Amino acid sequence: MDRRFTQVDFGPHKVDVPAGGYYDRFRMNPNLDEVARDPAAGNIDYFRRIPKHLVESRVGPTWAPNFYYRTSNIQLLFLAPLARLRAMLPAPLEPLRAFPGYGLVALTFFSYAVCDNDPYDEVSVAVVIRRPGARGSHTLELLDSMRRRSFHAHVLALPVTTEIARVRGVYGYQLPKWCTEIGMSIGADVRAHIAGPSGTPDLTLSAPLPALRNVAPQSHMGTSTMINLVDGQWHQATVQTNTLSFAQRLFPRDVKLLRSGGPLSQLLDGLGASTIVRLDVVKDAQVVLNLPTPLKAFDCA
């Protein structure tokens, strides 16, 4: 084994993690005073108000929620035909209609520079869905979600770059994760890429960097809720985001996304994801990921 890594137990699984890293030192229950002394973590006051608890999970007792102290992401929001989205969503999930005949698909590249389970990158392909139990106007629900920065989604793919992130996602959340090469950078422009199974390119993204806006901590909060089946039962897992530096462009014309035929290229093609509605760039944000909890809204469905 590479001496820069050490093997740890994650439930019944043995996983290699960076020796002396956050997971090796804290096992998901960090001493926030020590984290605060890490220059890479930045100001972590936001996390001091969120207690961690030792809770039962699919892999045994674990500390939750999971803290991501320094993160960034690039997101493309696509229009996609409702018929294609419905065909990909398990019942009773329903795509949220954005325009007549069209729903929304989000492609997001994430980079987690400092977090409880050590640095890694991730890519998500998700369908924006109706809030479980919602009735009435799709338009009003979409406008309300935009106003509150609160969306529900069903994740179709979530590849990552480290084994601990894969094991946590697959066995803790039953999410569609696998390991592959992913890269992302935010500089004078934004760039991101993900490789397919053989190491050949899958998706390659580039775009000029829109003007960034810096905001006060906890003034630009958002919530994403992942809805998925866990052991055959519907669950939801909430992700709280404290955005600190971000940019946004509607109907951007200067985004280049090269699809090279890998799994995510095929998935986006199958969904009919075409027109880019919005480009979001988050240069700095703090994230709290909660464990899945049972969802009762579909019990009578």
pLDDT of residue 1: 46
Contact 159, 123 (CB under 8 A): yes
Question: What pLDDT was estimated at residue 57?
Answer: 86
- The pLDDT value recorded for residue 3 is 63
First to last CA, the chain: 50
What is the rounded CA–CA span in Å between residue 16 and residue 7?
4
Q: Where are the alpha helices (DSSP H) in the chain?
A: 22-26, 32-36, 45-48, 82-88, 138-148, 163-167, 173, 263-271
Residue range 32-45: mean pLDDT, rounded: 96
Cα(174)–Cα(228) distance, rounded to whole angstroms?
Answer: 8
State residue 12's pLDDT score. 85
* Residue where the block lists tokens 């007792």: 61
pLDDT score of 135 = 87
> What per-residue confidence (pLDDT) applies to 276?
97
- Average pLDDT (99-106) is 96
DSSP 8-state code for residue 40: G
- pLDDT score of 300 more than 80: no
**Cα–Cα dist 213/248, whole Å:** 9
- Whether residue 104 is predicted with pLDDT greater than 50 in this model: the reply is yes
Give the Å distances, CA to CA, from 116 to 41, 56, 93, 194, 229.
11, 18, 31, 23, 25
CATH number attached to the domain at 68-294? 2.40.400.10
pLDDT in tens, 121-176: 999 999 999 999 888 889 888 888 888 888 999 999 999 999 999 999 999 899 99
Least Cα distance to 236 among 144, 129, 143, 138 occurs for: 129
pLDDT at residue 223 tops 60: yes
Q: What is the pTM of this model?
A: 0.96
The whole-number pLDDT of residue 73 equals 98
**pLDDT on residue 299:** 66
Indicate the pairing of strand 66-81 with strand 102-115: antiparallel
The pair of three-digit structure tokens given for residue 268, joined into one six-digit string: 């986006």
Percent of the chain with pLDDT over 70: 98
pLDDT at 17 over 80: yes
Instruction: Taking the CA atoms of 240, 246, 251 and 255 in sequence, report the sign of the dihedral they define.
Output: negative
* Contact (Cβ atoms closer than 8 angstroms) between residue 181 and residue 195: yes
Place of tokens 């404290």: 242
Averaging pLDDT over each range in 1-5, 60-64, 143-147, which range is the top one? 60-64
Domain assignments of the chain as residue spans, ordered by start: 68-294
Span 186-191, average pLDDT? 96
User: What's the whole-number mean pLDDT along residues 225-234?
Assistant: 95
Contacts with 100 (C-beta within 8 Å, 6 or more apart), sequence order: none
Nearest by Cα to 193 from 94, 286, 264: 264
Beta bridge partner(s), residue 114: 70
Q: What is the mean pLDDT of residues 12-41?
A: 95
List of E strands, 28-90: 53-55, 62-64, 66-81
Per-residue model confidence as pLDDT tens digits over 197-211? 889 999 999 999 999
Average pLDDT on 175-190 reads 97
Tell me the average pLDDT of the chain. 94
